Every structure is written in structure tokens, then in C-alpha cells.
Amino acid sequence: MSVPGAHEPEWWRCAAIYQIYPRSFADGDGDGVGDLAGVLARLPYLAELGIDAIWFNPWYASPQADAGYDVADYRRIDPLFGTLEQAEELIRRAHELGIRIIVDIVPNHTSDQNPWFQAALAAGPGSAERERFWFRPGRGPAGELPPTAWEGFFGGPAWTRVTEPDGTPGDWYLHLFAPEQPDFNWEHPDVRADFEEVLRFWFDRGADGFRVDSAALLVKDAALPVEDPTQQAFTDREEVHAIYRRWREVADSYPGSRVLIGEVWLPDAQRLARYLRPGEMQTVFNFPYLECAWEAPALRTVIDDTLRFHRDAQAPATWVLSNHDVDRVVTRYGREDTSFAIYARHHGRPVDLALGTRRARAAALLTQALPGSVYLYQGEELGLWEVESIPDELRQDPMWERKGRNPADPGRDGCRVPLPWSGATAPFGFSPPDSAAEPWLPQPDSWKEYTVEAQEADSASMLSLYRAALHLRRGLPALRTDTAGLSWLDAQEQVLAFRRGDSFACVVNLSPAAVPLPLPGTPLLASGPLGADGELPADTAVWLAL
Ligand code: NOJ
């Protein structure tokens, strides 16, 4: 199989990677849920957008208790999304268009419908089948208390008690996320061997890399301390790195350059950098950048810290504004508090969408001008906002129930609403014209102004800005390398101004008033109109040729 751009070694160092959340991208079969047929039909759109790779959220066979992050079979495509043949065709067609494919792998946990877990339930306490997971007797006189006091990330205890084959209440099993997502025991050789085979299965089909879900959580302290408020028993244990060293050997045994991208939510740059040591993963997601408030000094600190620790690790930085787990960037930047924390959302607070949009446009140019690779989450290029008005009975994210149906922190459905493609009424071209089924989450009526069709016709739209930026980024030598680095220019406190090499500069004004440009240059692209006198208005960014 031909691999696109195989002549470009380490293509992932500066790639623009588009994240597809398959159930919300495009619906090809008319059941109201996005699928691979929908993606296949829209590949030309992505090629035109100017991206280098697609990362797919899980497409595997799954009961969808956590939107596919509960994988029942890592070698099959969920019928909701299509077939393995379609996935193979998709990889082939994407490669023909010069787009690489990154697959999501979920190694920390599986689905309670995974045959291994079903076998473990049936085999009973003390069985070999249960050793692939974390089954333990409960505490208390009748085992009625969970083995540890650990809380799951979605809220509630991290343990669920099973009913044994003889009908009695029995052992408990560990699940750091929902009860439908039992954690694997990575000490078990079957688990290690099977995941290596899964990697090979997708590499053999042409996958260019993996995004590794919950990458810091896999290895647990087998002593299972009852109290563990700092989560040391299951987060970022040294033993986890041996797994990724092995995976890297597998990846490197394939032609081309295959990438491992870690989803590692650690606040500390030094700990993050350990995932990037030689022979481990090539990149990790930059969550500190995503979480940072829209304030120049804070962003500058995050950018400097990021570049420093990546330089030390000799790894390329990544820049991420949003994904399927976080409030959309337009909404975040339109709130009074523009920072973000994944387990403390602020739905219901006032949002100035016009302001948020202006800032998100500026942020797009800032993000794409930084050295390293960039991720963009589907719909970001359309300027979609967080839908806070989803009726409670339609909410699907398990966080909604498990966190006690909190309207201020209702989970992640609001960033997962199906994309608007065309037309003036829902489903806005998301499903074929004659479909009876409605989109799995309702789209706001006002999205008629945000469709791809409407934005293609408007040179001032968010889509036009993203297209222009991505194409320029591809063509500008200063932005096609991460080695040129970045040098800050003197500017006011609320202005970010930096050069990339000798011929390119980016200036972003985060202050509420227009500012003079700190250096002369020819504007290549701006996130909004520049002042008549060449001043940079509030919340506006410009790329300059020097
Ligand atoms: C991180 C994923 O991004 C999120 O969507 C998922 O719920 C958890 N990991 C558990 O797999």
C-alpha cells in the first residue's frame, strides 16, 4: 500500500490534524448518526480545507455507553458506523488525497460486552478469566463496601459489584470511567499481547498512527491502597512507559513514519515530557494550552513552558484549542472567565458569542503560527459554539447522569452536535435529503448561517479563514518546520508578537483597544479587518511577511 508523503520523514512534526467525531460528522445512511459513508463522501471537503491527517474518535464495535470509548471488539467497526471494508476504503481514499489516518486506541478499559469480560463474569471468583481485569472482594463484613474509596472520573465509585453465577452478590471490578468500561489488568500477558496485535491489525490496513486514550492510567499499583486522593496508585506510574516503548518498536517496524500520540492529562510539563523520551511516543496533546484563559501573559507562559519542555525532549509541540470533551472555543472565549477545566464546566453563564467568535478567529491564527502540529476539532472551522440548550431527556453523555444531572456541568453533548453542511433547516445536509430519522442531537435553527455551504460563499467566514490559514501554513517555509522556533518581539503586555524565522511574524492583540503593529510587515492574513492606519484592532491577529 502506498503511504502518502512517505518521502516526508516525521510528517507529524508540523501536521494539521483534523479530528472527526464519527457520529456527528456526516450521516451517509440516513439513520441520524454519522458514519463512514458520510466521511467518505466528504473527504474532498477535508482535502480542500488543507489538512494533513485525520484522527478518528473510536469507530469500533461498541454498545456506545461512552460514545465508543467502551470498545467491545477492537478489530471490528460498529455497524452504526459501517464496515471494516469501508474503513479500509476510507484509509485508501484518504491516502490518495494525501491525508493520513490516525486511529483512536483505548487500552485502559474495554466494554462490559467484551467477550473476555463476559467470560470473566461467567467464570466466577478466583478464575483465570478474572485476572485480565481488576476483580476484588469488597470490604466490610459482607463485602458490601468497594475495595477502595477511589472515585471514577465520571463521578461515583470506581468499582461495581457483580452478581455471581450462583446469584449471590460477589466481587467488585474496577472501572476508572463508567461501570460499562471495566479496566484491563496490564500486568496480564494476554492484555499486552492482544493490544500489540490490535496495533498491527490497523497498521497492516494502512493506519498512520494511534491516538492513545487515557495513556497515563494503564498501570495500577496492585496493592490497591484504599485511600488514594492524589491518584498515585493509577496515574502516571513508571511501569506504563515500558508499554509505550514496546508499542513504538511495533510502530517503527512499519514503513513510513507511524506516530503515537498520547492523551495524557497531566498538569506538570516534566511528567508529560517523560512520555516523549526517545523510543516512546512522538507527541502528546497540549491540554495546558487548551485550558488557558484568553490572556496574553498566561498564554505566553504556557507557550514558553511548552516549547521548553518539548525542546528538552526533542519532540514537537502540539497546539489544541478544542476536542470532543471540552466546551467549544467560541463559547469559552465569550464568557467572562475564559479558562477551562474539564471537570468543572460553567454552562448557563452569559456568553458573548460575537466576542467569543472574534477571539476564536484570532486564536486560530495564533495556534497555526506556533511551532509544531495543530489539531482542529470538527466544527471549529465553522465557528460552532457549545449548544447549552439540549433538552435533558436527549442528553447522552454518561457524565450527565453520573455527575448528578447538574445543569451547570452537564457533560460533553454540547460540543458533539451534528455538523451543519447545507440548507436552511435541520438536519442541514447532515443526513441525506429523504431521511426519516432526525440527527441524534438537535441542531440549533441558527446554524443555517453556519453551514459549510453558507460559509463557502462568504470570504469573511470562519471557514474561509481556516482554509486560507491552513493553505498558507502549508506553503510558508517558516511554518512548515518546528525547528525554526519562535522569538518573541517587544510588545505591550496584552499583545503576543513573535517571529518564526526571518520572514514571518504573528501579532495577536488580546487587549480591548487597537494597538500599533510592533514591527513593519506586509499582512498575509488577518483574523478581522485591520485599522485604516494599519493598527491591529482588539482581539485580532495578523500574519505578516517581513
Ligand atoms: C478520554 C476520551 O477523550 C473521552 O471522551 C473518554 O470518555 C475517556 N477518555 C474514557 O475513554
Name the catalytic one among 66, 78, 263, 381: 263
Cβ of 177 closer than 6 Å to ligand 1, yes or no, is yes
What's the confidence (pLDDT) of residue 80?
98
66 lines ligand 1 (CB under 6 A): yes
pLDDT at position 431 is: 98
- CB of 316 closer than 8 Å to CB of 13: yes
Structural element, H or E, at residue 36: helix 36-49
Sign of CA dihedral 508, 511, 517, 518: negative
Distance in Å, CA 255 to ligand 1 centroid: 30
Beta bridge partners of 20: 56
Ligand 1 centroid, distance to 138 Cα (angstroms): 27
- The Cα 213–Cα 191 span in angstroms is 16
213 CA from centroid of ligand 1 (Å): 7
Spacing, Cα 69 to ligand 1 middle (Å): 6
pLDDT tens sequence for the chain (546 residues): 334 444 478 999 999 999 999 999 999 999 999 999 999 999 999 999 999 999 999 999 999 999 999 999 999 999 999 999 999 999 999 999 999 999 999 999 999 999 999 999 999 999 999 999 999 999 999 999 999 999 999 999 999 999 999 999 999 999 999 999 999 999 999 999 999 999 999 999 999 999 999 999 999 999 999 999 999 999 999 999 999 999 999 999 999 999 999 999 888 888 898 999 999 999 999 999 999 999 999 999 999 999 999 998 999 999 999 999 999 999 999 999 999 998 889 999 999 999 999 999 999 999 999 999 999 999 999 999 999 999 999 999 999 999 999 999 999 999 999 999 999 999 999 999 999 999 999 999 999 999 999 999 999 999 999 999 999 999 999 998 887 689 999 999 999 999 999 999 999 999 999 999 999 999 999 999 999 888 999 999 999 999
Residue identifier of the C-alpha nearest atom 4 of ligand 1: 325
In sequence order, what DSSP letters do the residues of 57-121 get, joined into one string?
PP-EE---TTTT-S-SEEEEE-TTT--HHHHHHHHHHHHHTT-EEEEEE--SB--TTSHHHHHHH
Report residue 148 as a C-alpha cell.
477502595
CA dist., res. 275 & res. 272, Å (int): 6
Ligand 1 pocket check for 69: Cβ under 6 Å: yes
Q: How far is the CA of 153 from the centre of ligand 1 (A)?
A: 10
What is the biggest distance separating any 2 CA atoms in the chain, rounded to whole angstroms?
Answer: 81
106 close to ligand 1 (CB < 6 Angstrom): yes
Residue 214 CA to ligand 1 centre (angstroms): 7
Q: 218 CB under 6 A from ligand 1?
A: no
Q: How many CA atoms lie within 13 A of 53 on its CB side?
A: 30
β-bridge mates for residue 184, sequence order: 133
Grid cell in block for residue 274? 517523560
User: pTM of this prediction?
Assistant: 0.97
Active site residue 213: yes
**Distance (Å, rounded) from C-alpha 81 to C-alpha 451?**
23
Q: 271 with 231: CB under 8 angstroms? A: no
Residue 325 CB–ligand 1 contact under 6 Å: yes
Ligand 1 binding pocket includes 213 (Cβ within 6 Å)? yes
Q: Measured between alpha carbons, how far is 71 from 31 in angstroms, rounded to an integer?
A: 21
d(Cα 68, Cα 117) in Å, to the nearest integer?
17
Of the listed 29, 35, 213, 397, which one is catalytic? 213
Q: Which residue, 8, 71, 14, is CA-closest to 500?
A: 14
Answer whether 292's CB lies under 8 Å from 304's CB: no
Q: Is 104 considered catalytic here?
A: no
Please give the number of the atom of ligand 1 that sits closest to the Cα of 154: 7
Q: How far is CA 348 from CA 86, 294, 354, 445, in A?
A: 41, 20, 17, 19
Q: Which atom of ligand 1 is nearest to the CA of 70?
A: 11
CB neighbour class for 229 (10 Å; exposed up to 12, middle 13-18, buried from 19): exposed
Does 214 contact ligand 1 (Cβ within 6 A)? yes
Ligand 1 lined by 154 (C-beta under 6 Å): no
Atom of ligand 1 nearest to the CA of 323: 3
Q: Whose CA is nearest to atom 10 of ligand 1?
A: 69
Q: How far is the CA of 170 from the centre of ligand 1 (A)?
A: 28
Amino acid identity of residue 401, one-letter, is E
Residue the block writes with cell 498512520: 208
Q: Which of 260, 253, 110 is nearest to 188 (CA)?
A: 110
Distance CA 543, CA 471 (A): 13
CA distance 446 to 40: 27
